[in-house]
A = this chain, B = another copy of it.
Amino acid sequence: MSGMSAGPQPQTRKSDVDRETDRLARALLSRITEPGDLALAQLLSRYSASEIVEDLRTGRLTTKAATHWQARLPHAHPEADLAAIVRLGGRFLVPGDDEWPEVLDDLVHIGGGYAAPPLGLWVWGQPHLADLARRGVAVVGSRDATPYGVYVATELARELAERGWCVVSGAAYGIDGAAHRGALVGGGPTVAVLAGGVDVPYPRGHVSLLARIRESGLIVSEWPPGSAPMRYRFLVRNRVIAALTRGTVVVEAAARSGSLNTANRARELGRHVMAVPGPVTSALSAGSNALLREPDVVCVTGAAEVLELVGPLGTSAESEQVGPMRPRDQLDPLATRVLDAVPVRRAAGPASIAVAAGLAVSDVLRALGTLAAGGFVERIDDGWRVVR
């Protein structure tokens, strides 16, 4: 462990650590670090959260990142944070919990500064998060939505909810809010992933919408209660929206909308990326229409076309239920055929895999999404290879 003068022995495994000790340690780390911190993710791949906290407290962890974390240590009160979330009627989920969505682990495979899975998730509401994630579809778009975008997002989300799917979004004004509202109208639970504490309703105009969301669905955040939704946190948050769902639909997005960032994370995660066409005369459709020009983005005009791609609820959901490294023989025939065609060493592009498998590229892309979600394949640069 570089920079640690006398660190814990690597043979001390995470699995040996008591779950609640781990939860407390992660709650503390959640307070003193920022989500998406790759330095922390690397430490966590080798040491337990408790070990890292112990080394921080004793000053044995001397990396540059650790210095920043240590500065926040005096202000961290993880017991108080855990008590606060329980008082709200919520919980702090950590990896290993039954409710932890294992699909979040896919985040270790993506590029850029977004590769770190959440340390834990602060959750407010009744439903089982992993269950909702299994039938999750992200519906996102611009805050400055037009009546057209709001209408389409509402109707799309309503239909998805009516068919048993869970709409995941970011609770922002515009498309996000319309998506949550449509899901509620459709009678389905919906998940709002916030960029601040679950008890810090943001935007303020959505106080009552957020209250309605957690009556039947969930409010989820990587930040502990009371955290402010700062600007830079939104982009980091978007990777969770993408990871919690089988696909992301961009309904109406301006050229530099944050929702395009969610679409990019979804693509990196091997999830389906969809966009709803809009008038080329509308600047607020420029981003979503630009997405439609990318070869792996599917044009969708309604819920049926979304479900054609991410559904049906039965089969694929079961594939994901078992989590990473589930036995190959439980895969559906298409996925098995594609998996056989994915190389083990050097990564291959979808077109090349399609030829090897004797399948259409569109089928291969769909299967790769399932295989990536199941931990069978990983994306390296522009290609895919088998996870060993």
Q: Which A residues are closer than 8 A to B by beta carbons?
A: 148, 151-152, 276-281, 285-286, 289-290, 292-293, 295, 298-302, 305, 351-352, 354-355, 360-362
Contact = CB atoms under 8 A, between A and B. Distances in A.
Given A292-B292, A292-B299, A279 B280 contact: no
24 contacts: A148-B279, A152-B280, A152-B281, A277-B278, A277-B280, A277-B285, A277-B292, A278-B280, A280-B302, A289-B299, A289-B301, A293-B299, A293-B300, A293-B305, A295-B295, A295-B362, A299-B299, A351-B354, A351-B355, A351-B360, A351-B361, A352-B355, A355-B355, A361-B361
Contacts of A276: 280
Nearest to A149: B279
A148 B282 CA distance: 10
A281 B151 contact: yes
A90 to B, nearest CB: 37
A355 B351 CA distance: 7
A72 to B, nearest CB: 46
Given A295-B295, A351-B354, 7 more contacts: A277-B277, A293-B300, A295-B361, A295-B362, A351-B355, A351-B360, A361-B361
Contacts of A300: 293
Contacts of A351: 351, 354-355, 360-361
Nearest to A152: B280
- Which of A276, A280, A299, A354 has its CB near the most chain B CB atoms (within 10 A)? A280
